[in-house]
Amino acid sequence: MRIAIGQLQEESNTFVLQLADLRHFANNTLLYGDEIVRALTGTHAEVGGFLAVLGEAGAEVVPTVAAHSVSSGIVPRETFETLKAELLARLPAGPVDGVLLALHGSMVVEGDHDGEGALLAAVREAVGPSVPIAASLDLHGNITARMVASADILVGYDTYPHVDMYETGRECASLLLQAVRGATRPLTVFAKVPMIVSAEGMSTQHGPMRS
């Protein structure tokens, strides 16, 4: 069983002038291929959870790109295309049984407000319609129809402040393996709730979000 893993996380604020370019990613996290496994195994983050579950299952890991720059302004088109190309170039090394991606859900790319949707659509085109794709997301992600159409599984954090990144990665990977093994057939359902909650009122440690 061969599972490709990757990460492209950036929480965009379109009012911020500082662009999330390649240098900005490199100052945070920018890893390629086997560097990902060496650097992120055992970490308390989504990819750490991916690798733990895949290791327990004896799966072969196909590492692509791990890029993280949360949070900044928008991602320049050139930066997005470069990172996307690096990720896709590592997928055709051989057929994969599934794809695991650590995303944020609020990445704005120059010319496209749905960065995650664009990335997931490109991965779907690369691996074909039958390969399960699962992605982890921040609790504050903006889910779009394009994301739902391209991915089989989307799993967001349950906590704010965010303390369950590792657990989210494990859940995402476990659900993907169930789909790969044919134990489940994921069905995505998309519904938008007409509600806006201020960040200050979203803590899951108290108040309405806890219950």
Q: Do 116 and 107 meet the contact criterion of CB atoms below 8 Å apart?
A: yes
Nearest to 22, CA basis, from 70, 109, 80: 80
Nearest to 118, CA basis, from 93, 84, 94, 69: 84
Q: What is the band of 197 on the pLDDT scale with cuts at 50, 70, 90?
A: confident
Tell me the pLDDT tens digit for each residue of 31-69: 999 999 999 999 999 999 999 999 999 999 999 999 999
Residue range 200-209: average pLDDT?
83
In angstroms, rounded to a whole number, what is the distance separating the alpha carbons of residues 23 and 138?
23
Instruction: Name the percent of the chain lying above pLDDT 70.
Output: 99
Average pLDDT score over the chain: 94
Domain map (residue ranges) of the chain: 2-210
pTM of the model as a whole? 0.95
Q: What is the band of 93 on the pLDDT scale with cuts at 50, 70, 90?
A: low
> Which of 80-94, 145-159, 186-200 is least confident?
186-200
Residue range 154-161: average pLDDT?
95
- CATH number of this structure's domain 2-210, picked from the four choices 3.40.630.30, 3.40.50.300, 3.40.50.880, 3.40.50.2300: 3.40.50.2300
Give the residue with greater pLDDT, 188 vs 120.
120
> Which of 4-8, 68-72, 159-163, 202-206 is least confident?
202-206
Dihedral of the CA atoms 139, 143, 149, 153 (nearest 10)? Answer: 10
> Which of 51-55, 81-85, 133-137, 185-189 is least confident?
185-189
Q: Give the DSSP H/E element, type plus range, for residue 54.
A: helix 46-57
* Residue 211 pLDDT > 90: no
Residue range 123-131: average pLDDT?
95
Nearest to 162, CA basis, from 105, 195, 204: 204
* Residue 209 pLDDT > 90: no
